[in-house]
Amino acid sequence: AQSVTQLGSHVSVSEGALVLLRCNYSSSVPPYLFWYVQYPNQGLQLLLKYTTGATLVKGINGFEAEFKKSETSFHLTKPSAHMSDAAEYFCAVSEDTGRRALTFGSGTRLQVQP
């Protein structure tokens, strides 16, 4: 069985500060890992994904994440927060077998203070 834990349901940063959103996963097979962003009353938009290869993955809007197998982590970072980054962020895992449905964490709400 696979699972995702997102540490911190709310994170608040100042505009221009580093953003760090934490994600740890559990999977019995090599996982595919994803970060999605959700704005109020909207669906989910993919920020970035890790499947195989380079462990540092770059995504849209200046976000990046690093897959660390030894730590079973896939933390999301952005060097400098922008007001438009305020949203809910979800980490998800998919095993490379079968249906490949996503298992999501409970989400982290990012607030950006001016």
Partner 1 sequence: DTGVSQNPRHKITKRGQNVTFRCDPISEHNRLYWYRQTLGQGPEFLTYFQNEAQLEKSRLLSDRFSAERPKGSFSTLEIQRTEQGDSAMYLCASSPGAGRSTEAFFGQGTRLTVV
Binding to partner 1 by residue 90, rule CB under 8 A?
Answer: yes
- The CA distance from 81 to 113, in Å, is 9
CB-based burial label for 65 (10 Å; 0-12, 13-18, 19+): buried
- Give the nearer residue to partner 1 in terms of CB position, either 17 or 59: 59
Based on its alpha-carbon atoms, the radius of gyration of the chain, rounded to whole angstroms, reads 14
User: Considering CB under 8 A, how many residues would be counted as binding partner 1?
Assistant: 27
- Give the nearer residue to partner 1 in terms of CB position, either 54 or 100: 100
Single residue of 44, 62, 77, 111 touching partner 1 by CB under 8 A: 44
Binding to partner 1 by residue 28, rule CB under 8 A?
Answer: no
- Binding-residue pattern over the window 45 to 84 for partner 1, x denoting contact by CB under 8 A: xx--x-xx--------------------------------
CB-based burial label for 63 (10 Å; 0-12, 13-18, 19+): buried
- Give the nearer residue to partner 1 in terms of CB position, either 40 or 114: 40
- Give the nearer residue to partner 1 in terms of CB position, either 17 or 22: 22
Of 41, 53, 51, 40, nearest to 92 (Cα)? 51
Query: In the block, which residue shows the tokens 């709310």?
Result: 10
